[in-house]
Amino acid sequence: MINYDNKKKILLIDDNIDLLNSMASYLISENFKVHITTNGYNALQNLEIIQPDLIITDIIMPNIDGYELVQKIRSEQNQNNIPIIFLTAKGMTPDRILGYNLGCNAYLTKPFYPEELISIINNIFKYIEVWKENLNKNTQETKKQDEKENSVFDSLTSREYNILLLVTKGYTNKEIAYKLKSSLRNIEKYVSRLLNKTQTRNRTELTKLTLLNGFNKIKGE
């Protein structure tokens, strides 16, 4: 049994009430949760309440047409990612280009086969799922990398921290040796060890990695 609350929510907008009801019935039979309205103004007023997963809208409508509707939706930060399908009799290439430039995700010209509309909807949702999976994967990989880098800095000795701090501030090995009253050869060994521990190739990469991980982590500064 399908949980109604887990169904994808689709908002249909068209001033042709017969077509609107026909599409709604078909989408409901395909296990979607459907909200309908006959104009763009009502759609905008109830967008926050409905929170649709996808919008299907006509272009030629009174008061607010489909183009203006898309512009308004795309201008709202918390709504600009809602996928939008234009369903319209306007099938000329310039009309399509305008729709895509404004931010619609797909364009279906009337008359159409309901099966084609379902295919477009399913492909959009499939793309979103893949995008979310990749985003989650990249986020996890970035988190693991950050944890790895943080563990490297946490493992440094007090002497290594002091030298790293000076390297980050742009001191040369000779200047570090003088400041810490150590031999140049000894400082070179420490810098080489820092490069190996952080898996960086040179002082520039070492400095960049240090700054990216938070300069305040170095000796509490």
For residue range 174-213, list pLDDT tens digits in order: 998 998 999 999 989 988 888 888 888 888 888 887 777 6
C-alpha 207/C-alpha 167 separation (Å) is 7
How do residues 156-180 score in pLDDT, each as one tens digit?
888 888 888 888 888 999 998 998 9
Structural domains of the chain, with CATH:
4-134 (3.40.50.2300), 156-217 (1.10.10.10)
Per-residue confidence at 142, pLDDT binned at 50, 70, 90?
Answer: low
C-alpha 131/C-alpha 136 separation (Å) is 9
Residue 78 is predicted with a pLDDT of 76
Instruction: Tell me 195's DSSP state.
Output: H
- Among 47-51, 154-158, 213-217, the minimum mean pLDDT is found in 213-217
Residue 52 is predicted with a pLDDT of 94
Per-residue confidence at 217, pLDDT binned at 50, 70, 90?
Answer: very low
| H or E element that contains 42 | helix 40-50
Q: Percent of the chain, pLDDT > 90?
A: 36
C-alpha 220/C-alpha 199 separation (Å) is 23
Residue with the bigger pLDDT between 157 and 155: it is 157
How do residues 91-128 score in pLDDT, each as one tens digit?
677 878 888 888 889 988 888 889 999 999 999 999 88
Instruction: Tell me 8's DSSP state.
Output: P
Tokens standing for residue 89: 């009799």
pLDDT greater than 70 at residue 214: no
Residue 83 is predicted with a pLDDT of 93
> If you average pLDDT over every residue of the chain, what do you get?
83
C-alpha distances in Å from residue 132, one per residue of 25, 49, 112, 126, 127: 29, 24, 30, 10, 9
Residue 211 is predicted with a pLDDT of 78
Residue 153 is predicted with a pLDDT of 74
pTM: 0.60
Residue 3 is predicted with a pLDDT of 43
How do residues 4-18 score in pLDDT, each as one tens digit?
457 899 999 999 999
Residue 144 is predicted with a pLDDT of 59
